[in-house]
Amino acid sequence: MNSSMIRPLTRINMEKQNLDQTPQEERASPGGKFHVMQKHLSLAIGGKKDCGLERGGHPFDVSEVRIPAGKTNWPLHVHSKQWEFYLVKSGKGLVRTSDGEMEIGVGDYLMQTPGVAHQVINQGNEDLVMLVIADNPAADMIRYPASKKYFLKPSRVMFGELGESVEYYEGEE
């Protein structure tokens, strides 16, 4: 290889972190149906949440997602723009979509496309742990079919079908 083609490490914008040292964010609904813990890996190395490349974010977001036994990650929802890739690291569960249901377990992976309602339910006796990689569109509108509400990214505004402000888990449990 031609030495002029090798870039010195000092010119590469690279940051290293360790999964075990990455902080974990925990979210649970008031009634306990929804419970998820996430390690936002891309944010830990300088990414910006829900803003896309146009606003200084990474081209994709990476998280380690942990769903406790018997819990569901999020209310059933539909992204208008965002794609998500799931890789199951441990546990087992069920992916519920507007197209049907699919059992998942260790080593399974799948792609969730925009326009398809989805959620993950842990049906096992241990935590369901997945690596989730999502593209990072400049904007995304998320619709929640059961509660008829919407969430806008990057503004992070939640509103009902009549435009009123609502809480995230309202109408979901």
Residue 62 placed within a domain = yes
Q: CB of 105 within 8 A of CB of 131?
A: no
Residue 3 placed within a domain = no
Q: What is the pLDDT of residue 20?
A: 95
pTM of the model as a whole: 0.88
pLDDT at 87 over 70: yes
pLDDT at 122 over 80: yes
The predicted-structure confidence for 35-49, as pLDDT tens digits, reads as follows 999 999 999 998 888
**DSSP SS3 for 127:** coil
Residue 61 placed within a domain = yes
Count: domains in the chain: 1
Residue 41 placed within a domain = yes
Domain that holds residue 97: 23-138
Residue 6 placed within a domain = no
Q: What is the CATH number of the domain that holds 125?
A: 2.60.120.10
The predicted-structure confidence for 124-162, as pLDDT tens digits, reads as follows 999 999 999 999 998 999 999 999 999 999 899 999 999
Place of tokens 């036994």: 69
Q: What is the pLDDT of residue 171?
A: 94
Q: What is the pLDDT of residue 15?
A: 78
Residue 156 placed within a domain = no
Task: List the beta strands (DSSP E) in the chain.
Answer: 25-28, 35-40, 60-67, 78-79, 84-90, 92-97, 100-105, 109-112, 118-122, 128-135, 140-144, 149-153, 157-160
Residue 4 placed within a domain = no
Residue 34 placed within a domain = yes
